[in-house]
Amino acid sequence: MKKQIAERFLSIYQVPYKSLYFAPGRVNLIGEHTDYNDGFVFPCALEFGTYVAISLRSDQVIRVCAGNFSDEFNQWQISSEVPTDPDCLWSNYLRGVCAVLRQQGHQLQGMDVYIEGNVPRGAGLSSSASLSVAFAKALSDTNNLGLSVSELARIAQSAENDFAGCSCGIMDQLASAGGKEGHALLLDCRDLSFTLVGIPAHLDILIIDSRVERNLVGSEYNDRRADCEKAAQALGVRTLRETTLEALEQKRNELDLLVYRRARHVLTENERTERCAAALKSGDMAVVAETMHNSHVSMRDDFEITVPEIDFIVETVAAQLNNDGGVRMTGGGFGGCVVALVPNAKSNAIEADVKARYLAEFGKEPNVYHCKAKDGARVL
């Protein structure tokens, strides 16, 4: 990839790149729709990601070229306020990062930029977070801003919220910025503190893409978020993190049933996430299996974000696991991927089985990736 990017950069800008940055996509092991409720999530960074090659300019222009979008160009001035570009949606993730840094009072230098990524798009593995985090890392290093992991993540999240029109939480950006090889991050989204939990070497992270396209910017994600806010308001707290299952049960009859079920998912998911991380740490795979299973059931029945294809994959994989691994839907929902922690020795057989059964049921094969947890954003 590095060689390919060097060649592309040279042929586009007629000079070699000065520095190359990378930020990965992520997969979440457990803790879904909890991040914007100040709860717990447990993601890890992947080997797929976005590469950002740069060279400096002497003026105040940032010019970017996107390899994944037929080498489309976009450019803006950093000396004045950075607007969004309605005709070039991918550029808004980058414009947003610049705008946030400017709002924070940072001086930025002009750059020529070439971007290329290999996160499977539309699968829910955070290609967009990896793009904004990689670019934030490039700007931080180039302009000597020394931004920390949580600062990079916050800037990338604001860019996505305010410039790309997606009111996502902080999980994807934090995992992309702070991932660590061989580890998942138990992240407390209330204060952004995280602990690293080693993933035993005998486990593969199997990611099974249903190829049902999801659209996060779509209304369902924002609807779920609004339901959670309604529940918090009815319970008299700022976020669902500030309340308990007992308090929710006491108010059950006063709440709209749908709002009650959304809140029950979030509160039980927080508990499961902490338990699952502790169990993975102590090697208690039966509890990992149980918490991942219950997470899936809760997403399916209470939060209602799964689709038949995803439920089918989860059931098919679960049938092959003897509580020596876990499986659940991962990400925002409505399609996308299933994640499974499976013993290496079983992962090829599980792949073959799920591909054959899914093909028979839905007339297409899922894409299956065998992954390990990798490092977060870095200069290459």
Sign of CA dihedral 128, 20, 98, 8: negative
Judged by CB under 6 A, which of 5, 23, 25, 32 binds ligand GLA? Answer: 32
172 a catalytic residue: yes
Judged by CB under 6 A, which of 332, 335, 366, 376 binds ligand GLA? Answer: 332
Angle between helices 149-163 and 89-103 (to 10 degrees): 120
Q: Tokens standing for 91?
A: 């550029």
33 forms part of the interface with ligand GLA (CB under 6 A): yes
DSSP 373: -
Judged by CB under 6 A, which of 111, 168, 184, 342 binds ligand GLA? Answer: 168
Q: How far is the CB of 119 from ligand GLA (least distance, A)?
A: 12
Judged by CB under 6 A, which of 94, 108, 171, 368 binds ligand GLA? Answer: 171
Judged by CB under 6 A, which of 36, 42, 76, 303 binds ligand GLA? Answer: 36
Q: How far apart are CA 89 and CA 68, in angstroms?
A: 13
174 forms part of the interface with ligand GLA (CB under 6 A): no
Q: Which of 35, 38, 112, 172 is catalytic?
A: 172
169 forms part of the interface with ligand GLA (CB under 6 A): yes
Q: How far apart are CA 215 and CA 237, in angstroms?
A: 30
Q: How far is the CB of 332 from ligand GLA (least distance, A)?
A: 3
175 forms part of the interface with ligand GLA (CB under 6 A): no
Of 169 and 325, the one with the shorter C-beta distance to ligand GLA is 169
Q: How far is the CB of 197 from ligand GLA (least distance, A)?
A: 18
Which residues, at least 6 apart from 285, have a Cβ–Cβ distance to it below 8 Å?
Answer: 279, 323, 324, 325, 326
Closest by Cα among 144, 238, 142, 145 to 190:
238
Judged by CB under 6 A, which of 25, 178, 325, 331 binds ligand GLA? Answer: 331
DSSP characters over 107-149: ----EEEEEEE-SPTTSSS-HHHHHHHHHHHHHHHHTT----H
Q: How far is the CB of 32 from ligand GLA (least distance, A)?
A: 4
Using CB under 6 A as the binding rule, the residues of this chain from 293 to 322 that contact ligand GLA are: none
Judged by CB under 6 A, which of 172, 274, 302, 309 binds ligand GLA? Answer: 172
- The 3-state DSSP class for residue 14 equals coil
Q: How far apart are CA 246 and CA 241, in angstroms?
A: 13
CA atoms within 13 A of residue 176's CA, in its CB half-sphere:
35
Of 172 and 227, the one with the shorter C-beta distance to ligand GLA is 172
Judged by CB under 6 A, which of 5, 35, 208, 227 binds ligand GLA? Answer: 35
Q: How far apart are CA 210 and CA 359, in angstroms?
A: 11
Of 35 and 116, the one with the shorter C-beta distance to ligand GLA is 35
Q: How far is the CB of 25 from ligand GLA (least distance, A)?
A: 10
**Residues 54 and 62 sit within 8 Å (Cβ to Cβ):** no
Q: What positions carry a catalytic annotation?
A: 172
Chain residues binding ligand GLA by CB under 6 A are: 32-33, 35-36, 168-169, 171-172, 216, 331-332
